[in-house]
Amino acid sequence: MKKFLKQITIYGLLVLLILNGISLVVFYIHQKSKLYKPSFISNTVENQNYDYIILGSSMGLTSIDTKLVDQMNSTSGLNASMDDTSLGTHYLMLKHFLESGGSTDKVFVTISPRDVANKNPKESTNDYRFLPYIYRDYVHKHFNEKLGPTHYLSLSYWQPFVGVSYYNLEMAASSAQALIQPNKRNRFDDKGNYSYPITGNPPKNELDEITLAWENPYLVKIESLAKENNIDLFYYQAPIYNLKVITLDPKKNLINHANKINDPSLFYDKIHVNALGREEITKIFANEISLE
């Protein structure tokens, strides 16, 4: 019986060792690719100084075309937004950008009314894309503080197979593509931008109004990080169809484009502009920030 238990233990440890070894290889492949936005940032921004960067979720990713802004203003910008994320991830992305050797004069953080009002932010859908960098102290610390030490993203620091097995399609399967095509990007161009097609489901909702409640704890973290690195911070409210957004906090540097365009043909859905809408709002944005 003791011999049997010993063999089971040895085989179990061997399997664990192999799984963790494979997971570390997956991490390494993603680190050397540009498939997901964190890897793209890590392999793009070193020793680069930008006039500005855009942070945000899919609203930041699809609303502002940095190439058009740079063409109009003779600037150098980068869109570091990542879809299906929130302010906690925007903070981590800014930290990742800086730790990867990038610098910027300004940062525009794209917000949403629901996100800024969230007092207890949790995991964002695409936080797993930072897993290849789990051994960077700031990534592990962020997951520990945001999600707790027993969350599978945090546990991946000790047992990397936990995160890779949970996100097997997103991490393991995609690593094959990243290995074969290391410069391939997942739905964004060489400046980090993406646009939704003109086809979609244009919104039909009636005009509404909301007042921003600045209560998300990551607002303070973003503001502190920007200040520490002498970065001018601006919040950006991207267009939302038929929604008037009001802020009562004059201390927030907010560029409010929530209700700037209202033609439904310029929207992919209620909270995302399409390619035509992106061009329209980018021109407005470029003209406004040229005066900042």
pLDDT of amino acid 290: 79
Classify residue 207 by its DSSP letter: P
Confidence of residue 155 (pLDDT cuts 50, 70, 90): very high
Question: Is the predicted pLDDT of residue 292 greater than 70, yes or no?
Answer: no
**Phi, psi (5° rounding) for residue 48?**
-105, 130
Determine the pLDDT at residue 272: 96
Averaged pLDDT for residues 163-192: 95
Q: Would you say residue 291 has pLDDT above 60?
A: no
Number of structural domains in the chain: 1
Q: Where are the alpha helices (DSSP H) in 206-258?
A: 217-228
Distance between CA 21 and CA 282 in Å, rounded?
45
pLDDT of residue 248: 87
Confidence of residue 207 (pLDDT cuts 50, 70, 90): confident
Per-residue model confidence as pLDDT tens digits over 52-105: 999 999 999 999 999 999 999 999 999 999 999 999 999 999 999 999 999 999
Which residue is listed with tokens 């897993």? 131
Q: Name the average pLDDT for the chain.
A: 94
Q: To the nearest whole percent, how much of the chain has pLDDT over 90?
A: 88
200 in helix, strand or coil?
coil
Over residues 201-214, mean pLDDT: 86
Nearest to 144, CA basis, from 88, 227, 216: 88
Cα angle 221, 224, 225 (rounded to 5 degrees) comes to: 85
Q: Are 52 and 90 in contact (CB under 8 A)?
A: no
- Structural domain including 102 reads 2-291
Q: By the 8 A CB rule, do 237 and 255 touch?
A: yes
